[in-house]
Structure 1
Amino acid sequence: MRLTPNGPALIAALALAAALAPAAGAAPLPAPARAEIDALLGRLQASGCEFNRNGTWYSGAEAKTHLQRKLEYLEKKDMVRNAEQFIALGATASSSSGKAYAVRCGASAPVASKAWLSAELQAIRQR
């Protein structure tokens, strides 16, 4: 079986990691990482772009709410320590279907959420 970033193997790996990760005593996300992720989700909300999840387009505000829930889950499982891990584990694909997320801004073609969020993260870091 070949591991792909968006395939069923990823879901299985995340489920296994979640099962093995200690639920109690998870360390809080470092403050700089939390600030970057908060800024990233704020940019998504304010962008006017839409977020595709499992074939349905959602507003940036709805996407932010959904991704915050995923972040909380990853934090409880102590699976994320920085913004890149959050993007890879929580903001790239649906954990239920394995389908990749996408972002569409205006009339532009949709792009993979990983690419859009990574570019926004770099812009945040350059400020």
Structure 2
Amino acid sequence: MRALLTLLLFPLASLAAATPLPPAARSEVDALLGRLQASGCEFNRNGSWYAGAEAKAHLLKKLEYLEGKDLVKTTEQFIERGASASSMSGKAYLVRCPGKAPVDSATWLTAELQQLRAARPASGPR
């Protein structure tokens, strides 16, 4: 009986330890993924190209996983740990925008993050 109770409660204990991204970082991640979705660019993972909306949905799932494991606290950590490469194959994700060569998603997302932060009013959170 004790073993059964432990098996049932263990997953709940790991969920209790999950910590969501801080609000400022979550806002940045949401803005980045919104930019990716609206960009007209395609996202490559494991050799297949996907539209921005599909990329956003996939990366939100990865964010949820990272939050569940308490592995992400900043936007940069999300880019590095969740939005740069496949956790299954280890292959780098790519972003291909119309008329441009594909670039690593980490490069694209970091550049977009820098633009977001540069456009933020000086009084905004950093």
TM band (smaller chain): 0.7 to 0.9
Q: 1:96 maps to which residue? A: 88
Q: Which has the higher contact order (CA 8 A, sep 6+)?
A: 1
* Aligned residues between the structures: 106
- Once residues 66 and 27 of structure 1 are traced to their aligned partners in structure 2, the CA distance between those partners, rounded to angstroms, is 20
Q: 2:69 maps to which residue? A: 77
- Aligned-pair CA distance for 1:67: 0.2
CA RMSD for the aligned pairs?
0.9
- Aligned-pair CA distance for 1:23: 4.5
Structure 2 residue 37 is matched with structure 1 residue 38: no
Paired-residue identity, %: 68
TM-score by length of 1: 0.81
Q: 1:124 maps to which residue? A: 116
Q: Deviations over 1:74-119 (max 9, x none)?
A: 0011100010000000000000000000000012100000000000
- Once residues 99 and 27 of structure 1 are traced to their aligned partners in structure 2, the CA distance between those partners, rounded to angstroms, is 27
TM-score by length of 2: 0.81
Q: 1:57 maps to which residue? A: 49
5+ unaligned residues in a row in structure 2: which ranges?
Answer: 1-13, 120-126
- Once residues 30 and 88 of structure 2 are traced to their aligned partners in structure 1, the CA distance between those partners, rounded to angstroms, is 24
Q: Is the 8 A contact 1:23 1:78 kept in 2?
A: no
- Aligned-pair CA distance for 1:27: 2.2
Q: Deviations over 1:1-49 (max 9, x none)?
A: xxxxxxxxxxxxxxxxxxxxx5432222110000000000000000000
Q: Which runs of 4+ in 1 moved over 6 A?
A: none
- Aligned-pair CA distance for 1:55: 0.3
